[in-house]
Structure 1
Amino acid sequence: MPIAITPPAVEPKQARPAFQRANTANMGTKRKIICFSDFDGTIFMQDTGHALFDNFGCGPEKRKVLAHQLESGERSFREVSDELYASLDVPFEDCFEVMKTALDIDPDFQDFHEFCVNNSIPFNVISAGLKPVLRKVLDHFIGEEMSKHIEIVANDAKVTESDDGNKWEAVWRHECELGHDKARSINEYKATARMESENGTVPMIIFIGDGVSDLPAAREADVLFARRGLKLEDYCVEHGIDYIPFDTFADIQKEVIKIAKVDQQRTLGKGLPSNFNPRANMWRRVSSRAAIPVFAALSPAKEEKAFLWPETFTKPATVPNHLDTGLAVAAPVA
């Protein structure tokens, strides 16, 4: 049976400077948008898995060994994760006391989420983590009433409690090395949305992330936001991938408002975002019968030079996972 573990000491958080709260009211546009966001390192600054494994499982040293095996390609993300979850021996409800002090939420996420709710913008978490854990964390940090508006697309979990201890198992969403193919999940949403639409349209897809393992999902999006200073931004800069950097979700809200007004401008090209992904945008019809597709405004020469994702998204089998936050996830990009 596990011994009682005292949550690690955490230095008191410094109060944020006074600021004017973001306007979360309805912005009055008809642009159809949906947001997909990574969880660890994006909505929260730390990794929920690390908090679990370091305090209730194999510990930080063993986790680093497993991360190295993952990074070297010796083992897959799914294999390493199975071992990490197998090391946990704690009742499901008991592990969250540590997370209350170990995790920090983006300071402007709650305002952005309220903005999404008020503007009927679906917000989805898409993660390689465990759905019950992520839901519990969101319930605590933003409250159950607001948390219920967020759809979590992640792996499930099976926790069995007995006299011999507590057994944790990941119930993987997909049969692949990652356990969850984020790109596949987004494409499943696209297919469903297209069938449910009266004219075959789907919303503009926005993806928000921080690490290289987010690339498979990012390439399926129309607009990519990358947390400033982290590995997803580094990769985008290195490979010439267009993106919008952000420090907090307040930056994302400002850009989403700009993007949402594009379709309401009569002259295409005036204020046209340069951060669209034509590869993702080309397959879908525009969200208004009267609108002109963004890519239609570009000449062939310009289109070729526009925001086209490089071959590195689809050719390599893996991306160096040490570039990501979390479990140093090795991310197939095919």
Structure 2
Amino acid sequence: MNTFSSITGSLFNPSYTQYHTPIVLCDFDGTISIKDVTDTLLDHFGQDGCDELEELWINGKIGSQECMSKQISLMDASLEELNQVLSKIEIDPSFKSFINYTEQNNIPVHVVSDGLDYAIQFILKRHGIEHLPIFANKLLHDNERSWRLEFPYSNKNCIKQSGNCKCNHVKKQQYFPQILYVGDGTSDYCVSHNVDFVFAKDKLVNYCEKNRIEHCKITNFADVTTALKQDQQAVIPVMMVKE
């Protein structure tokens, strides 16, 4: 019987007193990273059955937690092979400058992802970004070629049946006067209703427009940095989109 264990290093868990700055919550796949990491890994290592699970999820017959759990269990790869693929995944070139700006101005940033904790940590570290709080699904390995997922941030009441309930994470940010969110896709739809302002890419732009969610259309994190610089009182009025 295979024994699975986490391969992720110790993740930074912040503690806060009352803050006078906003907090920025960032999706990872397609937002910080150029490619969707899970899709990339499944393209390389997924075995028969992954596409069928994806169809079930797209058609709303299973939630993302069930879909990802079963897909990851169908991966066949060594840790070295996995790392070789992860080492080729690039991030938004302006993300590191964005992190430098937020650190200089004491604005906390959390990565809140329905992706894989090990993959996120590996990719960010390769780009010189460490000690960033990461809230994601836990990737487990059996030290051979099999993989599993655990869901430390799941919520049985999650509307989207996600592995990581982003809305639940938002509820824990009571120390901040304003919660800003950066995202791009379907895993960001629900949480966009529960934050103060959204920086949106790709599919999330249309969703925010359709649902009259206050947002700013961005192409990269340089746009987010510009907005934060223009907003000295955490109101984000300059680039706000109102319907």
Q: Is the 8 A contact 1:124 1:153 kept in 2?
A: yes
Distance (whole Å) between structure 1 residues aligned to residue 238 and residue 188 of structure 2? 22
Per-residue CA deviation, residues 138-161 of structure 1 (Å, 9 max, x unaligned), is 111x21xx321x100112122112
**1:73 corresponding residue in structure 2:** 60
Distance (whole Å) between structure 2 residues aligned to residue 147 and residue 128 of structure 1? 19
Distance (whole Å) between structure 2 residues aligned to residue 84 and residue 139 of structure 1? 25
Residue 112 of structure 1 aligns with an amino acid whose one-letter code is F
Distance (whole Å) between structure 2 residues aligned to residue 58 and residue 131 of structure 1? 22
**1:285 corresponding residue in structure 2:** none
Q: Is the 8 A contact 1:96 1:137 kept in 2?
A: no
Tell me which of 195, 198, 219 is aligned to 2:193. Answer: 219
Tell me which of 214, 227, 231 is aligned to 1:255. Answer: 227
Distance (whole Å) between structure 1 residues aligned to residue 137 and residue 74 of structure 2? 18
Q: Is the 8 A contact 2:182 2:198 kept in 1?
A: yes
Distance (whole Å) between structure 2 residues aligned to residue 131 and residue 79 of structure 1? 17
| 1:57 CA drift (Å) | 2.0
Tell me which of 118, 142, 165 is aligned to 1:160. Answer: 142
Describe how 1:237-316 pairs up with structure 2 within 5 A.
Answer: 237-261=209-233, 272=237, 275=240
| 1:113 CA drift (Å) | 0.8
Tell me which of 151, 164, 188 is aligned to 1:172. Answer: 151
Q: Radius of gyration: which is bigger?
A: 1
Residue 208 of structure 2 aligns with an amino acid whose one-letter code is C
Residue 81 of structure 1 aligns with an amino acid whose one-letter code is M
Q: Is the 8 A contact 2:50 2:74 kept in 1?
A: no
Residue 210 of structure 1 aligns with an amino acid whose one-letter code is D
> Structure 1 unaligned runs (5+)?
1-29, 194-201, 264-270, 277-305, 308-334
Identity %: 25
Distance (whole Å) between structure 2 residues aligned to residue 274 and residue 137 of structure 1? 30
Distance (whole Å) between structure 1 residues aligned to residue 211 and residue 218 of structure 2? 19
Q: Is the 8 A contact 1:31 1:261 kept in 2?
A: no
Q: Is the 8 A contact 2:114 2:187 kept in 1?
A: no
Matched, 1:181 2:165: yes
Tell me which of 25, 35, 46 is aligned to 1:46. Answer: 35
Distance (whole Å) between structure 2 residues aligned to residue 33 and residue 207 of structure 1? 10
Point out the structure with the larger helix share: 1
Distance (whole Å) between structure 2 residues aligned to residue 189 and residue 262 of structure 1? 15
Residue 117 and residue 233 in structure 1: after superposition, are their counterparts in 2 closer, same or farther (change >3 A)? Answer: same
Tell me which of 24, 27, 47 is aligned to 1:35. Answer: 24
| 1:242 CA drift (Å) | 2.3
| 1:37 CA drift (Å) | 0.3
| 1:260 CA drift (Å) | 2.5
| 1:93 CA drift (Å) | 4.1
Which SS does the other structure have where 1:260 is aligned?
Answer: coil
Matched, 1:121 2:110: no
Distance (whole Å) between structure 2 residues aligned to residue 239 and residue 218 of structure 1? 10
Distance (whole Å) between structure 2 residues aligned to residue 40 and residue 83 of structure 1? 19
Which SS does the other structure have where 2:47 is aligned?
Answer: coil
Residue 107 of structure 1 aligns with an amino acid whose one-letter code is P
Distance (whole Å) between structure 2 residues aligned to residue 181 and residue 64 of structure 1? 24
Matched, 1:235 2:207: yes
Deviation beyond 3 Å, 4+ runs, structure 1: 271-276
Distance (whole Å) between structure 1 residues aligned to residue 155 and residue 237 of structure 2? 40
Count of aligned residue pairs for this structure pair: 220
